[in-house]
Every structure is written in structure tokens, then in C-alpha cells.
A = this chain, B = another copy of it.
Amino acid sequence: MQQEPLPGKLHGRHVRMGTEAVRELYDQSYFGKRVREGLDLSLVEAAYLLDRSRIQVSGTRGSPLDFRALFEQASAAEKGFEFRYVVYKDLRERGYYVQPGVPDFRVYPRGGHPGKTPAEFYVSVVSERTPLPLADLAEPVRVAGQMRKRLMLAVVDEESDITYYEAREKAPSGSMPKEEPAGLATLLEDRVVLWDPQGSERLHRDGFYGQPVGGRLQLSLVESAYLLEKGLIKLVDRQGAELDVEEFGRRASTIENDFDMKYRVYRDLRNRRLVVKTGFKFGTHFRVYKRVDAPQKVPHSEYLVHTVSADHVFHLPVISRAVRLAHSVRKAMLFAYQGDGVRYMEVRRLKP
């Protein structure tokens, strides 16, 4: 069905089409926005249709614009045009109906279209190079959730390859039993040793705490703080002085810069009856199990959790690496931050 290209005219950030375009472009394929005089195409839609010879576009002085001319003008007129163009083109070529929207596009589910089904995704297009504040991600996630949509993040790399992610809120929970008292421990240079053999064994067996070394248990700083706060261990320093939660917190913060931030998340996860261990081997703060029945048969951990501050600014290559690594070991990647309580945002790869 090769047809004569339909004529349109560039008006600032739109290409205005006549009424004959409504049937052919809107009714059949949901391009553009219906207006009284016919159909308004966004610059992204116009460039896409011009490249396919479905339309022709005349410039402000009436002369026809070729693809290069339209593309250069659109790129100068709209910040981020090039990114939106490659994402729009990619989604359209994958067979989705896509409409301009907030933040960038609305995408309809396969088999659906405007007027028949609600949109499934809100799409936010970002360049790999643009730093992304946590708030700029958390807010659209919240809005999408309220509107019962999913938030799709389309990241365009420097070679115009696109990686799609979904970001969503998550409330992880586990089913571990409560811990029991475990005796006396000493804060050494930067870790804690629990000396009591029975307490050590019980704590490791029933809660998967610490690392057994001989009959003793080495506890990490966050583990020690949690057990101390619950009143399950007594803690002294190398001089034998007893440490309470506040004093231990102060000392731990001198050993580890972001101790407070990490500990709030650790405590929240343990309070959710999850098992929380270091995620160092995965480059994250924690790896998290729903339940560990015995140290001899540790199951697959479900989540990797990385703690970020509320004013954190993401670099997309870092998100890319974290999510890719998590998926390569079949875990979900969660970013934890302090909001109204501790909040968790899952970021996962989408293959649309």
C-alpha cells in the first residue's frame, strides 16, 4: 500500500496535517493528536513518518524539508529530541502504539490501542550520560503507580542503543523466627567477635548471623548494632568498657562512613524477618534471603539491596551494571532509601 505522501507544514514544535490525515494516520495507526483543523504531529512522529515517506513536510518558508533538515531543526528546537526519536522509532518498530505523553510517551499493551485499552506504560527517556536524581525516578514511579501504570525507563547509550528498565516500589518480607540472647562480644579494630561457643552457634544456626571462626562468631558492625539494640548481646571494647547502642553507633560511624544509613536499612530488613548478609561479592551493600533454615543448606538469595541517600544522584552506567549483575545471578536489584520510613525501589530489565 504505497501511497502518495500526505502534505504537512512545520509549525514550531508540531507538523500540522490536513483533515485527510486523520483517517489515514490517526484512525489506522494512532499517530498525532486530533485538532479542529486536522491532525497535529509531534516532531518525533513527523520525523518518523517522513523517514517512511508517509508524509512530506514544508518549512516555514514553504519549501520542502528533507529528513536531514527536519531532523536538524527538530534537534535544535527540542532538548532531547534525538533520544526520544530513537526510542519512539524502536517501540513503533516493535509493534507498539506509542503516543506523546508524560514524562515522554505512553505505550499501549500488545493488542491494545488508544480508545480500546488504557496505556500500560509511562515511558521516561533518558540519556546514559545524564545524571538521574533519585527523586526524579521515585516521583514518576509514584505517579505511575497511582495511575495504575508501569514506569518504563528507556536509556539511550552513546551509540543510540536502548536499554529498557522498569522501576517500581517493592515491600520485601521474610519469615525468620526471633533471635535469642547470645552473650558477650568485643569490638576489635573494625569488627566484633562473640566469644561464647553456644551463643555463637545458636545465632549462626537460627539467624544466619556472623561468620564462625573456630568456636567464635565474627559479627559485622550492622549485625552487632542490631543484636545490641535488641538486647541480645553485651558489647565491650578492647579495654573492657561496655558499649551501649549510641556509643557503639558513634564508633561504628568512625569505622564506616555510611554506617548510619546502612544500619537503618539493615534493621528494617531484619525487622521484616529477612536474613541480611553482606553483598560485597556482588558490589552491593546486602544480599537478602527470605529464610535460611540452616547454615548447611543456604538457599538462593532473593534480593541485592543497595542503600542510597535521599539526595542520591544515579549514574546510569552504575544502574546498568548493578541490574545486569543482579540478573546474572537471578536476583532482584533493590535500591533502598530513607523516605517516609525505609523505601525500596526495584529496577529490572525489560525486554519489550
- Are A127 and B281 in contact, with the CB atoms below 8 A? no
- Are A190 and B129 in contact, with the CB atoms below 8 A? yes
A158 at the interface (CB under 8 A from B): yes
- Are A281 and B188 in contact, with the CB atoms below 8 A? no
A214–B129 Cα distance when bound, in Å, is 24
User: Looking across the interface, which residue of chain B has its beta carbon closest to that of A209?
Assistant: B159
User: Looking across the interface, which residue of chain B has its beta carbon closest to that of A280?
Assistant: B157
B-side contacts of A68, CB under 8 Å:
186, 193, 195
Q: How does the 8 Å CB contact mask read for A182-220 relative to B, with 1 for contact and 0 for none? A: 000010111101010000000000000011011000101
A125–B213 Cα distance when bound, in Å, is 18
B-side contacts of A186, CB under 8 Å:
68, 72
- Are A72 and B188 in contact, with the CB atoms below 8 A? yes
- Are A318 and B278 in contact, with the CB atoms below 8 A? no
Q: Which of these, B71, B281, B284, contacts A161 with CB under 8 Å?
A: B281
A255 at the interface (CB under 8 A from B): yes
- Are A281 and B157 in contact, with the CB atoms below 8 A? yes
Q: How does the 8 Å CB contact mask read for A68-87 relative to B, with 1 for contact and 0 for none? A: 10011001100111100010
User: Looking across the interface, which residue of chain B has its beta carbon closest to that of A325?
Assistant: B325
- Are A160 and B213 in contact, with the CB atoms below 8 A? yes
A320 at the interface (CB under 8 A from B): yes
A235 at the interface (CB under 8 A from B): no
A322 at the interface (CB under 8 A from B): yes
A51–B86 Cα distance when bound, in Å, is 64
- Are B317 and A280 in contact, with the CB atoms below 8 A? yes
A193–B66 Cα distance when bound, in Å, is 15
Q: Scan residues 266-290 of chain A and give those whose CB is less than 8 A from a CB of chain B.
A: 277-278, 280-284
Write 6 A-B pairs (CB below 8 A) sorted by A numbering.
A75-B238, A159-B211, A163-B281, A281-B324, A321-B322, A321-B325
User: Looking across the interface, which residue of chain B has its beta carbon closest to that of A186?
Assistant: B72
Q: How does the 8 Å CB contact mask read for A119-162 relative to B, with 1 for contact and 0 for none? A: 00000000111000000000000000000000000010111110
Consensus secondary structure, chain A interface: mixed
Q: Which of these, B89, B161, B195, contacts A278 with CB under 8 Å?
A: B161
- Are A189 and B81 in contact, with the CB atoms below 8 A? yes
- Are B76 and A238 in contact, with the CB atoms below 8 A? yes
Q: How does the 8 Å CB contact mask read for A223-257 relative to B, with 1 for contact and 0 for none? A: 00000000000000010000000000000000110
A117 at the interface (CB under 8 A from B): no
B-side contacts of A213, CB under 8 Å:
86, 89, 160
- Are B282 and A321 in contact, with the CB atoms below 8 A? yes
Closest beta carbon of chain B to A347's beta carbon, Å: 13
A221 at the interface (CB under 8 A from B): yes
Contact A318/B283 with A51-B214, A238-B72, A325-B328 known, Cβ cut-off 8 Å: yes
B-side contacts of A278, CB under 8 Å:
157-159, 161
A81–B191 Cα distance when bound, in Å, is 11
Closest beta carbon of chain B to A154's beta carbon, Å: 13
Contact A159/B218 with A81-B189, A324-B281, A324-B325 known, Cβ cut-off 8 Å: yes
Q: Scan residues 314-352 of chain A and give those whose CB is less than 8 A from a CB of chain B.
A: 316-318, 320-322, 324-325, 328-329
A214–B161 Cα distance when bound, in Å, is 14
A157–B285 Cα distance when bound, in Å, is 11
B-side contacts of A284, CB under 8 Å:
317, 321
A280–B186 Cα distance when bound, in Å, is 45
